[in-house]
Structure 1
Amino acid sequence: MIFAFGGTEIVSVAAAETQNPAHSVGKAIRTVVWRILVFYIGSVFVIAAVLPSDSEGLKSPFAGVLDLAGIPGAGAAITLVAVVALLSALNANLYGASRMVFSLSERGEAPAFLSRLRGAQVPMAAVGVSVAFGFIATILELLFPDHVLPALLNLVGSTCLVVWGTALVSQFILRRRADREGTELPLRMKGFPFLTVFGLALLALIFVVGFSNAESAGQLIGTFLLIACIAAACRIGAKVKSARNA
């Protein structure tokens, strides 16, 4: 269930393009929690309460519940909902990916043309690169079925844990610094530092459970190695850039 929260960090990326980030981000975060409680946990509760454990409807649980309720066209309705959900996820991830590419370009860690803005201040080149990656991944999945997609899904899951851990550590350090210096923050998280420490402890527990399983341990180790390689490449690139400017 923890991975149901994956993608909520895109809210912080979108904050840079809103007129009132403090209000918009706070409102978005609060509504995300309720949406997950209703649409994820609530729907699973309904499925568990309605369908028996040996029901054939568990092969497609949402359609099974609708069929049991006597609603015609349940399969088509669920398919339509799934397509809309996938398009929504695609849109959100395309937005996040393109803005990350744009940010890397602005910091000199990606080609300069990726930070060019077109039209309504949209980084079209960064969007195009992000879309191209999606097409390449799709083609690779067609060429190597049941290999590329599972690898990407596993990478996303383990990367989410790393991103959340990094965000919590950063928030803990920066919030303490702001409180120490008396900096007025437009958006303050309640329950600090207890909720931050609780989140870190929860992530640590997930990592422990993950490393106890051979398959998930390999995924986590692979993610850490990939992050280490990226960090090393960024460090080397920064040194090369510094040497050129010297």
Structure 2
Amino acid sequence: MSDFKNIQQRESGLKRELGPKQMSMIALGGAIGTGLFLGSKFAIGFAGPSVIISYAIGGLIALLLMGALAEMTVAHATSGSFGAYAEFYVGPLIGFLVRYLYWSCIVLAVGTEVTAIGEYMQFWFADVPSWLWIVLFSGVLIGVNMFNVKAFGTMEYWFSTIKVFAIVAFIVMAAYVVFGSGNPDYGFHNYTAGGGFFPNGLSGMWFAVIVSIFSYLSIEMIAIAAGEAENPAVAVKKAFRVTIVRLFVFYIATLALILAIAPMDKILSGGSPFVTVMQVVKIPGADSVLNFVVIIAALSAMNSQLYVSSRMMFSLSRAGDAPAVLGKVRANGSPVNALLLSTSGIAVATIVYVLFPEQAFTLMISLSMFGAMATWLLIFVTHWFFRKRMASEGRTLSFTIPFFPVGTILGGVLMVAILVTTLWVEDFKMTLVFGVPFVLAVIGIYYFTRSRRAQSRAVTAEQVQDEITGTVVKRVP
């Protein structure tokens, strides 16, 4: 494993200051955001009450992915994470591709979060242009991420704590409304009202899985954060167990209760389904409280995504696959140049929101989804090669998950199926239209940069030889 140690050494310079609690909250912070609080409305539009199955399928894929990442991260903790693993176990091209795919999807996902914040703020300030909120909140979070990782971890811990507390409170309140209020308007009979449990058939349920993947996106950032954890092995194991349980409970339980309380027409015509539920049950001021929470959720996810996108660009720079200036680290351990480049998604989101305010959120999701799904697929591929390499070398892993290779194969097959499905979903047609040319462009960049680098090394070697022998070599162009 000496070669991988070289990769870890290459990516040194970041400070190990994140504890297990912060690591767990970082994973939750990324995965409990706009995808749950606003994206779930679009998933319900596809699937109706069967969205519960959609999110269960997405949760299964997320569980398999987290297990694969936990195995590899406990073995090798580095900020390059699955990009570094792909480089080492599959090949340099795949490592290059994974890093750029993931960086692009997270940068665009930052745009979805900040777009959602602009929409949420309309609840209170309908006359204030949304782009002003986008600029304001973006500036604050960029400033936080310029400090050391401990500042980021502390803010993310409290952001996520507020979200978790609010979701638990919501579940308790909604459970009382459904089971204890005695109001016949609320209950699971609403699942079959207004078109039945599968109002758009099995295809609608399957289409909603695409949105569920977007909702679970960012659970993988725990593997990247492990590169700055105080004790990576302990932190990753704990975060893996805690995060999966909480995600399943939070997503499935909240959606089940929302659909038992709010009529479908109100969910689809409103903003966040959480706020809609508060309006339906008519608890004074509760809708404003929930709107505040969903804004915190979006800020939290945006905060996490700025962090992880800057670390992935830092890793690309240290690998020689991005300009060297992006691999520089401040004395406080923050890769500020990589961070500033990673804010480009905010600029894209602002422009999209100004030009297409009604379609901005779904358009940003469709653009970011290709990189997300392709990255998850390549993580499963990398895990296959990782386990095969470990077995061939007779190495024993200190942390393993059951059901290999079935779980890894199942996760990969499901991701391929979901990617192909986007061709038949109007809202996601831009996913492959954007994604396929992007992949071809990245592959082209890879071979171009490698060719230039090889030529540079060849010229340098000849110059050294010239100096040694004192001769002049005539080079043929």
- State TM-score, norm by structure 2: 0.48
Farther off after superposition, 149-158 or 117-126: 149-158
Distance in 2 between residues matched to 1:54 and 1:143, nearest whole Å: 28
What are the ranges of 5 or more consecutive residues in structure 1 without an aligned counterpart?
none
Give the aligned partner of residue 333 of structure 2: 121
Give the aligned partner of residue 220 of structure 2: 9
**Higher RCO structure, 1 or 2 (CA under 8 Å, sep 6+):** 2
User: Match of 1:94, as an amino acid?
Assistant: L
Shift of 1:229: 0.7
Give the aligned partner of residue 38 of structure 1: 249
Q: 1:114 to 1:31 in 2, by over 3 A?
A: same
Q: 1:226 to 1:91 in 2, by over 3 A?
A: same
Q: 1:214 to 1:58 in 2, by over 3 A?
A: closer
Matching of residues 5-154 of structure 1 within 5 Å? 5-55=216-266, 59-60=270-271, 61-131=273-343, 133-146=344-357, 150-154=362-366
Computing the radius of gyration from Cα coordinates, the structure with the larger value is 2
Farther off after superposition, 32-41 or 48-57: 48-57
SS in 2 for 1:232: helix
8 Å Cα contact 1:51-1:58 kept in structure 2: no
User: Match of 2:256, as an amino acid?
Assistant: F
User: Match of 1:66, as an amino acid?
Assistant: M
Distance in 1 between residues matched to 2:456 and 2:387, nearest whole Å: 36
Distance in 2 between residues matched to 1:224 and 1:45, nearest whole Å: 36
| Structure 2 residue corresponding to 1:211, chosen from 415, 420, 423 | 423
Q: 1:47 to 1:58 in 2, by over 3 A?
A: farther
User: Match of 1:156, as an amino acid?
Assistant: S
Give the aligned partner of residue 155 of structure 1: 367
Sequence identity (%): 28
SS in 1 for 2:342: helix
| CA displacement, residues 160-212 of structure 1 (integer Å, 9 cap, x when unaligned) | 11011000001011111102211232332222111111111211322342233
Give the aligned partner of residue 446 of structure 2: 234
Q: 1:222 to 1:136 in 2, by over 3 A?
A: closer
Q: 1:59 to 1:225 in 2, by over 3 A?
A: same
Shift of 1:59: 2.0
Shift of 1:142: 4.7
| CA displacement, residues 2-42 of structure 1 (integer Å, 9 cap, x when unaligned) | 31221111111111111322222222222222222222221
User: Match of 1:63, as an amino acid?
Assistant: V
SS in 2 for 1:120: coil
Shift of 1:108: 1.4
Give the aligned partner of residue 14 of structure 2: none
Give the aligned partner of residue 191 of structure 2: none
Distance in 2 between residues matched to 1:213 and 1:69, nearest whole Å: 33
8 Å Cα contact 2:366-2:427 kept in structure 1: no
8 Å Cα contact 2:275-2:287 kept in structure 1: yes
| CA displacement, residues 58-108 of structure 1 (integer Å, 9 cap, x when unaligned) | 624322333444422122112101110111111110011100111111111
Shift of 1:150: 4.0
What are the ranges of 5 or more consecutive residues in structure 2 without an aligned counterpart?
1-54, 59-212, 459-477
Distance in 2 between residues matched to 1:57 and 1:139, nearest whole Å: 24
SS in 1 for 2:332: coil
Give the aligned partner of residue 165 of structure 2: none
Does residue 189 of structure 1 match 2:401? yes
Q: 1:35 to 1:56 in 2, by over 3 A?
A: closer
- State TM-score, norm by structure 1: 0.89
Shift of 1:243: 0.9
Q: 1:225 to 1:187 in 2, by over 3 A?
A: farther
User: Match of 1:27, as an amino acid?
Assistant: K
Q: How many residues align?
A: 245
Does residue 166 of structure 1 match 2:378? yes
Task: Report the RMSD for the aligned CA atoms in angstroms.
Answer: 2.3
Distance in 1 between residues matched to 2:230 and 2:295, nearest whole Å: 31
SS in 1 for 2:399: coil
SS in 1 for 2:418: helix
Distance in 1 between residues matched to 2:277 and 2:320, nearest whole Å: 52
8 Å Cα contact 1:115-1:123 kept in structure 2: yes
Farther off after superposition, 137-146 or 151-160: 137-146
